[in-house]
Amino acid sequence: MKRASLLKHFRKNGCVLIREGSSHSWWGNPEKNLRSSVPRHNEIVDQLARKICKDLGIPFIR
């Protein structure tokens, strides 16, 4: 999965960027008070994307 489409899915589901790290970005869901780190790779493996969506409390994009 492309990182850009995953980040677009986050924004659509109410998640916000918390901060940028050196190799990861931290995203959070303020509505559910959940957060997760997202690596800065162009391609993110579907299994990892599914885990990040679960951590943020949003549905997985297909």
Per domain, the residue ranges of the chain are 3-56
Q: Look up the pTM and report it.
A: 0.93
Q: What is the mean pLDDT of the chain?
A: 96
Exposure string of 4-26, with b = 16+ CB inside 10 Å and e = fewer, is eebbebbeeeebeeeeeeeeebe
More confident residue, 25 or 62: 25
Section 2-13 average pLDDT = 96
* Residues 43 and 2 sit within 8 Å (Cβ to Cβ): yes
Per-residue confidence (pLDDT) for residue 5, from 0 to 100? 96
* CATH for the 3-56 domain, from 3.30.920.30, 3.40.50.1370, 1.25.40.390, 2.40.50.140: 3.30.920.30
Per-residue confidence (pLDDT) for residue 19, from 0 to 100? 97
Per-residue model confidence as pLDDT tens digits over 19-43: 999 999 999 999 999 999 999 999 9
